[in-house]
Structure 1
Amino acid sequence: MLSSVQDQKWPLVVIAGSKHSRKGRTVFAKCNIPRNTVVCDYHGELLTYDEGLLRYEQYGDNNENVYMFSFNYQGRNYWIDAVRQCRCHPKTRIKGRLLNHSMKTANVVPRIVLLNQLPHILFFAKQDIAISEEILFDYGVQRDRLSELQDWMLS
């Protein structure tokens, strides 16, 4: 697991264009993926809650292209900023940030895992995933309320 995060090599999935033009690039299964398998991670710069809020505000109203993940681990709030290319993988296309949202058909679930004494978000298959199936997770808000995400995160 740690080597996949460090190398950003996730052999079970591939980035490809979506058949739904509004989605753009997304992530698909390259093979059948068994339930409970680590699929990929949400990779980027780990920020404290205050640093994340400041960064989120700097990105402004263009939240269509903001790839930030907010989470709580052991009573501390963090953000992972995947907007900017990370320093550790400057030429790698990060797969986890391209996962699309679905409340009803999510097939992976994010889990917090401690690696090298730092929390990381890994996506685990919550069911068997078929080859060519799009990888989806529930962002935790309703699709029609995604525009309200900034207000929800700031409250």
Structure 2
Amino acid sequence: MELPSAREIELETLLRQRDTQIAELTDEVTHLRQYLSTQPAPSTADPITLPPALVSILLPHINGRSTAATSTSNTVSALTQRAKVLQEENDELYELLKIGETGRLKDDVRALRRVVVKLEGALKGVSGAQRLPLTGGDAN
């Protein structure tokens, strides 16, 4: 068995770093879940604060189209509802993105673990090969 190449050693190091990162992220997710479980649920009756840039884009459209208070109220309600729907879609897409990234990371980890097993086998083979001549020399 030959010694591992520099690339194999590098992959081994990357695997260990990735395992550490995954463990840290898992701990962080667990901590955040515990934190969220202790927090009160957000109120759906509270007004939503929009970023100033978004307000500056929406305000001309709201003011230009609404001439009566009921129209303004309807527009604000519609925009609020649309913002909530978009936020939910954004959350769903983010979850899908996270799942995809996690899948890729798991594939990388599996590949790196296979390399580690091969490296460990190579190391055992090298140490066993080194012992053989010594053992054979003692028999004579």
TM bracket (short chain):
under 0.3
TM-score by length of 2: 0.21
- TM-score, structure 1 normalization: 0.20
Bigger CA radius of gyration: 2
More strand by share: 1
Query: With CA pairs under 8 Å and 6+ residues apart, which has the higher RCO, 1 or 2?
Result: 2
Bigger proportion of residues as helix:
2
